[in-house]
Copies of this chain bind each other. A is one copy, B any other.
Amino acid sequence: MSDFIGTTADLLRRTPELLRTLLSGLPEDWTDTADVPQNGWRPRDVVGHLITGELTDWVERTQRILEHGTAVPFDKFDRFAHAARDTDASLDELVEHFARLRAENLARLSELATDRDLDRRGMHPTLGEVTLRELLATWAVHDLDHVSQIFAGMAGSHDAEVGPWKAYLGILLRRDDPTAIAG
């Protein structure tokens, strides 16, 4: 628990560079497929959702906890705000927008909070009382959750090309059946 905020920020700082490395300039046939066939998200949807988190969620909620504790609940998080907002931007532009917002938010976080604040509480509109520590850990795991959706979509884009090897590729089998076990 020593330097929890520093360690969490270290991971959060990596995500924009990771998205650049994975996606920058990649041909569209790798990036136009959703993570799952039904109501899934393409890489651009995922990056848009991460942008929404930077605009409205993580640091806003940190500030809410520090200013109001549990007295004023967090605003709800609109999980689909990206759909209307990002239609004209390229995937590379979305990644760079996310990178700018993430850098700004990590700078704000380092000014707002220290590890002594981690047990301070806020009020989630659905989940009830939560701590700042839980909010910041969730920020990091939320990155991991959604970036792995991008991997599933990219794999899915080449589902038809792996031939019989699909039987060994859990990332493809699980798009059709979440309980599938690779051979």
Contact = CB atoms under 8 A, between A and B. Distances in A.
* Stoichiometry (number of copies): 2
Contacts of A109: none
A134 interface: yes
Interface string A150-183: 0110110010011111010111101000110000
Interface in A11-54: 11, 14, 17-18, 21-22, 26-27, 29-30
Nearest to A6: B27
Chain A, interface SS category: helix
Interface in A123-158: 124, 127-128, 130-131, 133-135, 137-138, 140-142, 144-145, 147-148, 151-152, 154-155, 158
A181 to B, nearest CB: 9
B141 A148 contact: no
Contact of A21 (B14, B141, B148, B162): B14
Contacts of A18: 18, 21-22
Nearest to A133: B161
Nearest to A154: B144
